[in-house]
């Protein structure tokens, strides 16, 4: 079993928000992804998609985007991003998405010896003090991460591999330690996958090894709309 990842697809089958207005890197981005997916993913593999999946405002607008994956193999793991407005309660999401999709929220998932956990996250403390609203959301997301990590630990066995997915980067622009990182270290998470960042102006590295953890940035445009193999 292999584990791949790609984030921030921003699909818009029934809403008028084409991504190619943001540059040539978004032209035919789903078609490029689908061709790469068919070449790489086998039945039983896992594809992590941590956030900003669809521009749909409601679930009925997002479902046509899910339908694009009907003939693409693998178990597809989703996490809420800051633009996934269609995501309501976790129960509603799980009842609506196709059978090959699995959603994480305050819990974890197992596929063979791979445990997947995570939380959306938020902007991490950086140069200037956080706005009160940002700090409130950041602290709330840490609590959600703790719930997911605790759920993972209850199911953890010897020789399991743990992958944590977040939508927002788990650190600031200087890759500094924060409470998110401290939680990952405490739970001996060695692999983290995230997205959210876009364009060359982000000046972010696709792979960062720090704190004994390998971090993968997999935003669709930054990885040329192709899957990154994680494990």
The structure tokens listed for 48 are 């992590």
Q: What is the pLDDT along the chain (231 residues), one digit of tens a residue?
A: 999 999 999 999 998 877 776 677 788 899 999 999 999 999 999 999 999 999 999 999 999 999 999 999 999 999 999 999 999 999 999 999 999 999 999 999 999 999 999 999 999 998 888 899 999 999 999 999 999 999 999 999 999 999 999 999 999 999 999 999 999 999 999 999 999 999 866 778 999 999 999 999 999 999 999 999 999
Angle at 194 between CA 190 and CA 199, to 5 degrees: 140
Q: Which helix (H) or strand (E) holds 134?
A: helix 132-155
3-state secondary structure 167-178: CCCCCCCCCCCC
Our count of domains for the chain comes to 1
Domain range for 37 is 3-229
Name the 3-class secondary structure at 44: coil
For residue 55, which of 43, 44, 63 has the smallest C-alpha distance?
63
Most distant CA pair in the chain, distance: 48
The domain that contains 69 carries what CATH number? 3.60.21.10
Q: Which residues, at least 6 apart from 98, have a Cβ–Cβ distance to it below 8 Å?
A: 66, 67, 69, 70
């Amino acid at each position: 079993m292999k584990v791949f990842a790609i984030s921030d697809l921003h699909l818009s089958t029934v809403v008028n928000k084409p991504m190619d207005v943001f540059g040539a890197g978004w032209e035919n981005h789903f078609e490029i992804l689908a061709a790469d997916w068919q070449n790489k993913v086998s039945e039983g593999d896992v594809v992590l998609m941590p956030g900003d999946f669809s521009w749909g405002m409601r679930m009925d607008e997002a479902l046509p985007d899910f339908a694009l994956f009907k003939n693409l193999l693998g178990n597809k793991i989703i996490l809420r991003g800051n633009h996934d407005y269609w995501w309501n309660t976790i129960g509603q999401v799980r009842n609506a998405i196709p059978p090959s999709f699995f959603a994480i929220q305050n819990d974890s998932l197992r596929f063979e010896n791979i445990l997947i956990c995570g939380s959306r996250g938020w902007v991490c403390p950086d140069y200037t003090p956080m706005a009160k609203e940002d700090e409130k959301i950041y602290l709330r997301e840490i609590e959600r991460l703790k719930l997911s990590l605790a759920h993972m630990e209850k199911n953890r066995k010897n020789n399991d591999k743990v992958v944590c997915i977040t939508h927002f980067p788990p650190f600031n622009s200087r890759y500094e330690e924060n409470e998110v990182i401290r939680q990952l270290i405490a739970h001996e998470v060695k692999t983290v996958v995230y997205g959210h960042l876009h364009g060359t102006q982000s000046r972010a590295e696709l792979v960062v090894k720090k704190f004994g953890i390998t971090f993968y940035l997999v935003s669709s445009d930054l990885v040329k709309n192709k899957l990154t193999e994680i494990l």
